[in-house]
Amino acid sequence: MTQEGFSYAFDPSACASCGGNCCTGESGSIFVSVTEIAAIAKLLEMDEGEFRRTFLRKEGFRFSLKERLVNGSYDCAFFDRSQNGCSIYEARPLQCRTFPFWDYFRHRIDELKAECPGIIHD
């Protein structure tokens, strides 16, 4: 998988053996839009207010998914270690859908390769 403007490619088959490095590890922000909040709450069959209180934290003017501390790792609240995957995959936020083609990584390829075994770069 490639994307215009990025010098690396991504092989999604690496996800099967990775253990969710992009959904766990250092604490970070997983921003969700109002539309995404509604879609995730619907998928979980939760009242949107309850979903917001349970799974979101406010960061400035934006909302981010909460994390769970597991053995020193900050896991996204929706990363399922037993399944090695995202438990809201169909409704995962755009930020997750566009990984690893983020502006942040465009010129930080070594950092990205250290995190993601699916990166192909000469």
Residues that bind ligand SF4 (CB under 6 A): 23, 30, 65, 76, 78-79, 86, 88, 92-93, 96
- Kindly write down the DSSP assignment for every residue of 11-74, as one continuous string: -GGGGGGT--TTTSSS----EE-HHHHHHHHHHTT--HHHHHHHHEEEETTEEEE-EEEETTEE
| Phi, psi of 86, rounded to the nearest 5 degrees | -85, 125
Nearer to ligand SF4, 86 or 122 (CB): 86
CB of 104 to ligand SF4, least distance (A): 15
CB of 79 to ligand SF4, least distance (A): 4
Q: Which residues contact 9 (CB under 8 A, 6 or more apart)?
A: 1, 2, 119, 120, 121
The residue among 5, 8, 2 whose CA lies nearest residue 110 is 8
CB of 93 to ligand SF4, least distance (A): 6
CB of 97 to ligand SF4, least distance (A): 8
Nearer to ligand SF4, 104 or 122 (CB): 104
Nearer to ligand SF4, 41 or 88 (CB): 88
Nearer to ligand SF4, 96 or 112 (CB): 96
